[in-house]
Amino acid sequence: MGLRTGQDYLKSLNDGRELYIGNELVKDPATHPTLRYTAQSVARCYDLQLARADEVTFVENGERFSNIWLPVRTKADFERVRKGVTLWHRTTAGIFGRLHDYLTIWVTTLYMLHDVLSKPDPKFGKNMIEYYYYARSKDLALTHAISMPQIDRSPGAGRKQNEDLHIVEVNDRGVVIEGCRTVSTYAPFANEFITLPQLPANPDEDPDYVIGFALPMNAKNLVFLCRETYSSPEAPWDHPLSTLYDDLDAQAVFDRVLIPWERIFIYRDPKINFEIYDPIMAYATWQATVRAIVKLEFIIGLAAKWAEMLGIDAYPNVQERIGWLIEWRNVLSAAVEGVELTARPHNGFLIPEVWKTWPLVMVHGTYIYPMAVETLRVLTGSGVIMNPPMSVFKDEKLRKYAHKYFRAKGASAFDRLLVSKFVHDITVGSLGGRLLQYERYFAADPFRVAIVHYRFSDKSQFKQLVDDQAAFIKSLMKEAGISEEG
């Protein structure tokens, strides 16, 4: 098939999966009141991909596939994948943290690493190759979860204490697992679930907790417990971003789920998982930075439109705040291209450097994104709070008041309030709080990541710069008769 329509995608979600919102079993995410708008947003991306196939797809053996499945062999391939990723996220304002391009790039990276997966047993590399071609041919929407539940984070507590996935039985058909994975973002809107051992897996840990695999969302005894939704389906225009683009995280519960042998990629081998960690993380954070740039561009657009509508765009302090966001957007864009230029070869493919991509999402989530949200808060003030439901325009009397008292210098009340709804969803709404938390912790705890960079980065080159300057100054002092000995 290669490419599918939005309608094909929507039909695929009615697969008998066991997915709950509260105690309600969601029979069909595509028609469920609180989920259908988001499902339709994904379908719109599929349709746009078809409409612009000449720009964002590639042809192999006479069949056309989305660029988000393209293995990267050249700098031009990086640009093609980036163009595909950008299209998906520009269609959804960059708000989706987990449109499935994130996981297609995961799967494609694992395909590029199939030689590594084959080290313990060639069948695992073969499984990955076959799964890549299968998922690509159907243009599947994917979700994942690699974090174990937060149960016991005390010193010494491990995977067992936190109910992580683990093997409980092995038979001819495959491996039976129990346990849980948390924050399976996009679960209601995916066709399949893929996971690896929580990264990185230490080489000396219990091998029963080391397994990587993929399964259909409707696998027997696989249960998804969703968090509370932020959608407002009765009036999507009042919370447009929350209703259209809430990718709804879920807890994935494995209640003795059978994983067929042909769907297993990593099996009881911590060393292999440790070896693939850097390449997976490198591509994941590269994609996340491309997404983050689109999201930042949307926020810059909101800030600029608000400033122009209210006539505050002439103030230097307003210009400076928006100017900083533009600068950061340009820095991230340049960094992404630099990462692509310095990617290293592996097995005929190119792999970015994780120590260059990981910091990009950490800097974005810890500093840039909070600054962007704060900029919207500062520029809008009470305007982000004081926006009545758009239903006021249905009443003749209230519409008259709205047109008079909610208009802006450069916009009608209708247009000003709509922009205000966007800003509200990003800043003070439920989705906005979730987005801020998501960006900060997307690529792990910033505190821990900074320590990892300190411990594993080669600091000798930096210290050598100091030593070289010190040696030169000492030589000058020696000529002047100044030395430690007197």
Question: Is residue 201 over pLDDT 90?
Answer: no
- Percentages helix, strand, coil for the chain (3-state, rounded to 5) are 55, 15, 30
Cα gap 264→145, rounded to integer Å: 16
pLDDT in the model for residue 31 = 98
Structure confidence by residue, pLDDT tens digits, 464-477: 999 999 999 999 99
Mean pLDDT of 122-138: 98
Cα gap 175→267, rounded to integer Å: 9
CA angle 195, 197, 200 (to 5 degrees): 125
pLDDT in the model for residue 273 = 85
List the domain boundaries for the chain.
274-460
Mean pLDDT of 368-374: 97
Cα gap 27→17, rounded to integer Å: 7
Q: Say what the pTM is.
A: 0.95
pLDDT in the model for residue 485 = 81
366 confidence band (pLDDT: 50, 70, 90): very high
Question: Is residue 278 over pLDDT 60?
Answer: yes
Cα gap 172→184, rounded to integer Å: 29
pLDDT in the model for residue 274 = 85
pLDDT in the model for residue 420 = 97
pLDDT in the model for residue 327 = 98
β-pair type (142-144, 24-25): unpaired
- Mean pLDDT computed over every residue of the chain: 95
pLDDT in the model for residue 199 = 64
Question: Is residue 486 over pLDDT 80?
Answer: no
Pick the CATH number of 274-460 from 1.10.10.10, 3.30.1370.60, 1.20.140.10, 3.40.640.10: 1.20.140.10
**Structure tokens of 452?**
């990892």
Cα gap 154→283, rounded to integer Å: 31
Among 185, 248, 225, 184, which residue's Cα sits nearest to residue 36? Answer: 248
Distance of CA 348 to the CA centre of its chain: 26
